[in-house]
Chain A
Amino acid sequence: MILLGMLMLSMQASGYVGFLVDRKSTSGMDHFLGPCLVSWVTKKQHFIAMSTSEVGHVAAASCCAQLLWIRQQLKDICVDMGCIPIFCDNTSAINIAKNPCQYKRTKHIDIRHHFLRDNVEKGLISMNFCATNKQIVDIFTRALSREQFEKNRLELGLNKITFSKRPSSPSSA
């Protein structure tokens, strides 16, 4: 069965203080099913974050919510995805999700964002590290340099298709 070879992964990134008017950050995520991009999000977060890891944690939590929905959809057609990896470029955000302790700088994070932590404990989601220069999803959260932008665009699967002119028939040549 072809479906057995499928792997779902999602990338998540966050732009700290992306919007200067109210100092709120932007979260961006994309979800791949096999090689195909199936959903993508870019969203200004609802609250003002005090650190980049907090932004990452919140973005990962909303990413997790979307993943669980996709997971449920796939379950309906009898596809079990197992543990779905989320790739995040912020190691502290990953550690917040893995470690259930409360620290001075994380205890104010809203309880609904600890939803992620719960799902990691259950083994539905796993948090993994991905270097910033390999994050495809950066295109959704910040303005990139031309090279980076073109690279990300290509990896998302956007290609420029150029149609070559129809070869002229021998009679007209």
Chain B
Amino acid sequence: MESAKPIDTLISPSTRLVMVDGSPSFEEKSCRGTIGSLLYLTANRLDIVLSGGLCVRFQSKPKQTHLMDVEWILRYLKTYF
């Protein structure tokens, strides 16, 4: 994440997250910890409440697109820490 490009918003208005979108699935344990930490962070960062909550809904059987969404949040947090 050190070399990640900073961004200003969390999710684009055109983003529509669905369960099956054709993108490859991956091992779910790897992003569970990250999402857990994000949820913990929502206690004082209100701006990530919505997109954090969206990621939580896809915790079981996540796809590559959902992982990207988590990465976006991390990039955002890097910009606005």
Once the chains bind, are A156 and B46 in contact (CB under 8 Å)?
A: yes
Is the CB of A77 closer than 8 A to any CB of chain B? Answer: no
**Interface size, A (range):** 20 to 34
* Cα distance A44–B10 in the bound complex, in angstroms: 19
Number of interface residues of B (CB under 8 A): 21
Once the chains bind, are A143 and B8 in contact (CB under 8 Å)?
A: no
Is the CB of B4 closer than 8 A to any CB of chain A? Answer: no
- Could you say which residues of chain B place their CB within 8 Å of the CB of A32? none
* Cα distance A37–B80 in the bound complex, in angstroms: 20
In the assembled complex, the CB of A64 is this many whole angstroms from the nearest CB of chain B, namely 21
Type the 1/0 row for B26-59, where 1 means its CB is closer than 8 Å to any CB of A. 0000000000000000000111011101000100
In the assembled complex, the CB of B4 is this many whole angstroms from the nearest CB of chain A, namely 18
Within 8 A of B (CB), among A16-43: 19-21, 26, 28, 37, 40, 42
- Could you say which residues of chain B place their CB within 8 Å of the CB of A144? 9, 13
Is the CB of A1 closer than 8 A to any CB of chain B? Answer: no
Interface-forming stretch among A104-112, A117-125, A146-154? A146-154
* Cα distance A105–B53 in the bound complex, in angstroms: 31
Interface-forming stretch among A4-12, A53-61, A134-142? A134-142
Is the CB of A158 closer than 8 A to any CB of chain B? Answer: yes
Chain B: CB-nearest residue to A138:
B50
Chain B: CB-nearest residue to A30:
B46
Q: A21-B19, A144-B9 are in contact. List 20 more A-B contacts (CB 8 A).
A: A20-B16, A26-B50, A28-B50, A40-B46, A40-B49, A42-B53, A139-B46, A140-B50, A141-B50, A143-B11, A143-B13, A143-B14, A144-B13, A149-B8, A149-B10, A149-B47, A150-B8, A153-B47, A158-B45, A158-B46
19 A-B contacts, Cβ less than 8 Å apart? A21-B18, A37-B46, A42-B50, A42-B53, A44-B53, A44-B57, A139-B47, A140-B46, A140-B49, A140-B50, A141-B50, A142-B50, A143-B10, A143-B50, A145-B9, A146-B9, A149-B9, A150-B8, A153-B46
Name the 9 nearest CB pairs between A and B, nearest first. A143-B11, A143-B13, A146-B9, A42-B49, A153-B47, A149-B9, A20-B18, A21-B19, A140-B50
